Structure 1
Amino acid sequence: MVVGSDGFWRLLYPIHHAETIRQAAEKNNLDPLLIASIIRVESKFRAENVSKVGAVGLMQLMPETADWIAKESDIPYRGTVDLSDPETNIHMGSWYITSLIKQFKGNRAAAIAAYNAGPGRVSRWINEGVWDGTFETSEKIPVGETRHYIQRVFFSYEKYQQLYPNF
């Protein structure tokens, strides 16, 4: 395999669980490549991942967030054990992204930042003028982890769009 070829880059930017991602994207009116980008940044497609703060699965959902999603959505959910199931995790995470995009009136940069930092913090940054909520000014996000998170998600998204134009 030639370094720099599409085959090489597809090894670094895979799409696992493609059918589930497509279904969740269609149901939640999202670009499936955005979902894949978030999964890549969150877990590198490792369903068994549990973060040091307790986020679980492919899309690294916190159990409390998953409980809230279960109450607000029609996604079957029996508890934290379900978060390791790729199908449940992808559907819940995708539903949550859509809910954040609605909350931030279509602003995907703010929604993705909120996926990482929480919607309350991101709303506060925007309302206090710390950050205007755009990707172009993401260097003004006061939390380094969140600043780097949205930069990595958008970089991955651009890469996925190049590698999988017909996904």
Structure 2
Amino acid sequence: MNIKHYAILFITIMVMTTAFIVNNINYEQTIEELEQQQKELKIQNESIQNQNEYFQSINLKWESDFSYHNWNEIEMQANKMVEDSGGSFEKSWALFLIQKSEAYDIDPFIVYELIKVETGDTFDPELVGPPTQYGHAYGLSQFMENTAPWIADMAELPYEKDLLFEPTYSIQLAVVYLDFLYDEYNNWDEALTAYHRGIGGLEQYQEENGHAASWYAVEIQEKAEENRSLAFAN
């Protein structure tokens, strides 16, 4: 066999080897993609199951009693929110937030601080968040279009994209979603981190860090405690 034949044989072997390697890489990538899709589907199914359990576990959330017995406390909290925001968070929004939060037995300042972080201290009800693989987030509570509809269902509210820019609508969605998450995890570290990162993102964060105390959850809780104390200081 002459050199030319050896060269042809060598090239043929190289081509076949390269093709095998490429096919193997593509196969491994396909397997990884399928595993990731399966993981995401599992998370979605668990989320749907959790929503159904939430509906079954709660028949009615009673509205808070706005009366002379508690009005002073409500107004002190509302005034503190307005003051802390430099007037950007309107008092009518604050009063609505407090009423809805207390109806669900949630600290109003947790919800307020969440909105503060979500809007970057702007409290802009027309805010549109940066683009992500899931789209944009909208309004005071920064809900996305893939999340807001089923939360609106839980809140027994209608859903339209434009409603996400309505301050009281956005606030009510935030309260209901936080109630759902706290009911699921029974602690604010996990509930707030899930609000920020999504349920799948929470699980990934816990796998990587061994806990759920993200900067987001810690900051909201610490600031809420601080403002709550200041609201009742006088």
TM-score bracket, normalised by the shorter chain, equals 0.7 to 0.9
Alpha carbons of structure 1 residues 11 and 130: separation in structure 2 relative to 1, 3 Å: closer
SS in 2 for 1:48: coil
SS in 2 for 1:64: coil
Task: Find runs of 4+ consecutive structure 1 residues off by over 4 angstroms.
Answer: 11-15
Match of 1:72 in 2: 154
Alpha carbons of structure 1 residues 67 and 87: separation in structure 2 relative to 1, 3 Å: same
Aligned positions, number:
144
| 1:24–1:94 CA contact under 8 A, matched in 2 | yes
| 2:154–2:176 CA contact under 8 A, matched in 1 | no
Unaligned runs of 5+ in 2: 1-79
Q: Which TM-score applies when normalising by structure 2?
A: 0.55
Alpha carbons of structure 1 residues 154 and 13: separation in structure 2 relative to 1, 3 Å: farther
Matched, 1:46 2:113: no
CA RMSD, aligned part only? 2.4
Q: Which has the higher helix share?
A: 2
| 2:189–2:218 CA contact under 8 A, matched in 1 | no
Q: Deviations over 1:82-111 (max 9, x none)?
A: 01101100000110011111111x111111
Unaligned runs of 5+ in 1: 1-6, 139-146
Match of 2:202 in 1: 122
Deviation at 1:62, TM superposition (A): 1.2
Identity %: 25
* Cα distance in 2, alignment partners of residues 118 and 58 from structure 1: 17
SS in 2 for 1:120: helix
Alignment match of 2:188 (pick from 108, 111, 135): 108
Q: Point out the structure with max Rg over C-alpha.
A: 2
Match of 1:86 in 2: 167
